[in-house]
Amino acid sequence: MKSIKVEAKNVEKAVEKALTELGIARENAEINVIDEGSKGLLGLIGNKDAVVEVKEIFDPVKKGKEFLKKLLDKANINVDVEIMGEKSDDEQVVYNLTGEKELGLVIGHRGETLDAMQYLTSIYINKELEEYFRVLLDAEGYRDRRQETLERLAERLAAKAERKQRKVVLEPMPPHERRIIHIKLKENKNVKSYSEGKEPYRKVMIEPLDK
Residues 157 and 203 reside in one and the same domain: yes
**What's the pLDDT score for residue 107?**
92
* Residues with Cβ within 8 Å of residue 24, at least 6 apart in sequence: 56
Residues 66 and 133 reside in one and the same domain: yes
Residues 155 and 190 reside in one and the same domain: yes
Give the end of a domain, one of 140, 165, 189: 140
Residues 45 and 12 reside in one and the same domain: yes
Residues 130 and 200 reside in one and the same domain: no
**What's the pLDDT score for residue 92?**
87
Residues 148 and 178 reside in one and the same domain: yes
Residues 129 and 157 reside in one and the same domain: no
Strand partners, 53: 5, 32
User: Residue 114: is it exposed, middle or buried by C-beta count within 10 angstroms (0-12/13-18/19+)?
Assistant: buried
**What's the pLDDT score for residue 211?**
60
Lowest mean pLDDT among 40-44, 81-85, 96-100, 187-191: 40-44
Give the end of a domain, one of 140, 162, 196: 140
Residues 136 and 199 reside in one and the same domain: no
Residues 20 and 47 reside in one and the same domain: yes
Give the end of a domain, one of 85, 110, 140: 140
Average pLDDT over the chain reads 88
Could you tell me the CATH number of the domain that includes residue 188? 3.30.1370.50
Residues 28 and 72 reside in one and the same domain: no
More confident residue, 170 or 9: 170
Range of the domain at 95: 60-140
Task: Provide the pairing of β-strand 134-138 with 92-98.
Answer: parallel
Segment 67-74 long-range contacts (CB within 8 Å, at least 24 positions apart)? 67/120, 67/121, 67/124, 67/125, 68/95, 68/97, 68/117, 68/121, 68/137, 71/117, 71/120, 71/121, 72/106
**What's the pLDDT score for residue 43?**
56
pLDDT band at 88 (very low <50, low <70, confident <90, very high): very low
Could you tell me the CATH number of the domain that includes residue 74? 3.30.300.20
Lowest mean pLDDT among 45-54, 154-163, 164-173, 178-187: 45-54
Region 158-176: what's the mean pLDDT?
94
> The whole model's pTM is what?
0.73
The CB density around residue 5, as the number of other CB atoms within 10 Å, is 12
